């Protein structure tokens, strides 16, 4: 089996995806921006499932981090077959008070960083049959009338992510590599993050989700794993909403 690279793998959807992909014969290159301790815990969980792991810590807004990630994948000695671009964050600052410098930081991290990752990873994926690239977007790029905070900076970045997915899918289609996005709705956080959110928050977001609850990270990871697998070989350039009907 080949190598899978996952950014933002220390928690949440990224960590759940790593555990989904872990198994004998699999080598995972796992990334976090700064939370090495959490990434090491997730790596240990993946190793317990039979996978080998390489860890990379660094800011994806920096070109050196992307270069380090792809170098780590290349040093394994097996082809890179899957990339999951999951790293991101939410900035709940309204547009009229949004600091343009903060907007630039968000776009540099999520859009420019993804561009660099695509430019470096897609040629490597094309060298092996059945290469797969999945980027994680968000419902915030599609829904702007929900109660509570708004996320114009993150929404802009995630909309750009989906546009880059379409552009990349078109450019690499002839190689057999597929490029897709998954757009989750509200997803449960890790316990240390969830503890800071009042129960009323979870009740509110569950109430506005047609299916009546919010997702578990592993439910998003399952869809990502499908898009990385052989049954998704004829799906490319798509954004798959995994949101319990939130964007209906």
pTM over 0.85: yes
41 Cβ contact list (under 8 Å, min separation 6) = none
**Given CA atoms 9, 15, 16, 18 in this order, what sign does their dihedral have?**
positive
Task: For residue 201, indicate whether it is catalytic.
Answer: no
Q: How far apart are CA 12 and CA 191, in angstroms?
A: 10
Pairing state between β 132-136 and 80-85: parallel
Q: How far apart are CA 74 and CA 57, in angstroms?
A: 17
Residue-level pLDDT at 71 = 96
Six token digits for residue 238 = 């798509």
pLDDT tier at 147, thresholds 50, 70, 90:
confident
Distance from chain centroid for Cα 93 = 22
Mean pLDDT of 65-78: 94
Fold of 3-242: Rossmann fold (3.40.50)
Q: How far apart are CA 77 and CA 2, in angstroms?
A: 9
Strand order in the sheet with 178-184: 52-57, 27-32, 3-6, 80-85, 132-136, 178-184, 239-242
Per-residue pLDDT of 25-45, as tens digits, reads: 999 999 999 999 999 999 999
Residue-level pLDDT at 145 = 86
Check 109, 139, 151, 186 and give the catalytic one.
Answer: 151
CB 143 within 8 A of CB 233: no
Of 217 and 200, the structure prediction assigns the larger pLDDT to 217
Residue-level pLDDT at 195 = 47
Residue-level pLDDT at 198 = 67
Mean pLDDT of 3-18: 97
Residue from 113, 117, 119, 116 nearest 61 by CA: 113
Phi and psi, residue 10, nearest 5°? -80, -15
Q: Is the predicted pLDDT of residue 150 greater than 90, yes or no?
A: no
Q: Residue 152: how many CA atoms within 13 Å on its side-chain side? A: 11
DSSP for 146-169, written as a single string: -SS---HHHHHHHHHHHHHHHHHH
pLDDT tier at 200, thresholds 50, 70, 90:
confident
Residues in the chain: 248
Q: How far apart are CA 15 and CA 20, in angstroms?
A: 9
Domains in the chain: boundaries = 3-242
């Amino acid at each position: 089996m080949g190598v899978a690279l996952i950014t933002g793998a220390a928690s949440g959807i990224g960590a759940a995806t790593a555990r989904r992909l872990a198994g004998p014969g699999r080598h995972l290159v796992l990334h976090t921006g700064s939370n090495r301790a959490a990434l090491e815990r997730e790596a240990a969980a993946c190793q317990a499932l039979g996978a080998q792991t390489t860890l990379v810590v660094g800011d994806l807004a920096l070109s050196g981090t992307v270069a380090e990630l792809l170098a780590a994948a290349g040093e394994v000695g097996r082809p890179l077959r899957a990339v999951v671009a999951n790293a991101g964050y939410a900035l709940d600052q309204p547009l009229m008070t949004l600091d343009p410098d903060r907007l630039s930081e968000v776009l540099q991290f999520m859009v420019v960083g993804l561009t660099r990752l695509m430019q470096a990873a897609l040629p490597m994926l094309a060298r092996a049959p059945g290469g797969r690239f999945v980027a994680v977007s968000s419902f915030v790029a599609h829904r702007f009338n929900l109660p509570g905070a708004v996320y114009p900076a993150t929404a802009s970045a995630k909309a750009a992510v989906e546009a880059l997915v379409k552009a990349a899918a078109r450019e690499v289609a002839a190689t057999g590599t597929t490029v897709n996005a998954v757009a989750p709705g509200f997803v449960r956080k890790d316990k240390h993050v969830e503890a800071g959110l009042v129960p009323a928050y979870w009740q509110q977001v569950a109430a506005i989700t047609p299916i009546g609850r919010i997702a578990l990270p592993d439910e998003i990871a399952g869809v990502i794993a499908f898009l990385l697998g052989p049954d998704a070989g004829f799906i490319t350039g798509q954004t798959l909403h995994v949101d319990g009907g939130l964007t209906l």
